[in-house]
Structure 1
Amino acid sequence: MKPIRRLLCLPFLLCALAAQAQDAAPQPPGDAAPPAAAAEEDKDWRDISAYDFGALADTTRRLELVALAMQVRDFCADRRVPDEFVRERLARFAALSGRAEDCRTLVDY
């Protein structure tokens, strides 16, 4: 075996020996409460009113709407883009945003 291979194999061997030497301490069966009982005690377990930041999915959705609004706003400003195409894009954007949209309301984003 070449010396470089020995050096490369040494860390893996040491990690394997360390993992084998560790013994997990067994948990006594009576320490943990049943999960069903814990769920019945706390009815407001999904309350997030104390969070400083909103959900990641909400932030992602807002950023996607901003990017799409900028694109549709560019379509509105470009006179070479046909009106039918702009109206279709505005209708799609309104369906995603949940509000009535036209070229003037895109400034809000």
Structure 2
Amino acid sequence: MYKGRVPVTAAWVAGRSPQDGRDECRYRDIACFKEGRQMSPRPLIVCFVMLLAGGVGAQPAPSGAATAATAEGAGKPVESFRDTTGYRYPALSRTVRDMQNLAYALQLRDYCADERVSDEFVKAQLASFSRITGRTESCRTLLAY
């Protein structure tokens, strides 16, 4: 009737093998918790320790020289509030802007190559793109993108 296949029974769902009758909890499934078995707390403790260890060095304490400099020149700013010299990666907005300019330039290159698009439209689009990039754009300069 089953043609060599083992039917799915309640024993299989509960993690027990119907052939040998052993009570095994595989993959820490929900049936194990229903039977009163509990998962080891070791992974939870390891995650908690890693969380604490990661937060220790997150904010360095201010040095004495920095606090003395701010105390002396309370009226004068020591450095610009937009100083990004210590940043590891460039600004995300710059990358987004470059990608948008690339997409626009590729579209304009297609307009330049298509003879069915009128010259007035292409010139207007190139002027608009020139205002965005801040440099004079032509069909030839679009090859740089």
What range is the shorter-chain TM-score in? 0.5 to 0.7
Corresponding residue of 1:68: 104
CA RMSD, 1 decimal: 1.9
Alpha-carbon distance in structure 2 between the residues aligned to 1:53 and 1:86:
36
Q: TM (normalized to structure 1)? A: 0.59
| DSSP 3-state at the match of 1:50 | coil
Residue 79 (str. 1) matches residue 115 (str. 2) = yes
Q: For 1:92 and 1:57, how far apart are their aligned partners in 2?
A: 20
Alignment partners' CA distance in 1, 2:113 and 2:97: 24
Higher normalized helix content (fraction of residues)? 1
Whole-Å separation in 2 of the counterparts to 1:96 and 1:105:
14
Aligned counterpart in structure 2 of residue 47 of structure 1, from 53, 67, 83: 83
Give the deviation of 1:58 after TM superposition: 1.2
Higher relative contact order (CA 8 A, sep 6+): 1
Of 23, 32, 57, 2:93 maps to 57
Percent identity for Structure 1 against Structure 2: 45
The structure with the larger Rg is 2
In 2, distance between residues paired with 1:104 and 1:52? 35
Q: Using the TM superposition, give the Cα deviation of residue 78 of structure 1 relative to its aligned residue in structure 2, in angstroms.
A: 0.4
Report deviation, 1:59.
Answer: 1.1
Q: Deviations over 1:26-48 (max 9, x none)?
A: xxxxxxxxxxxx7x827335321
- Residue segments in structure 1 that go unaligned for 5+ positions in a row: 1-37
Name the counterpart of 2:55: none
The aligned residue for residue 141 of structure 2 is 105
Q: Show CA shifts across 1:57-107 (max 9, x none).
A: 111111110110000010000001000000000000000000000000001
* Corresponding residue SS for 1:59: helix
Count how many residue pairs are aligned between Structure 1 and Structure 2.
71
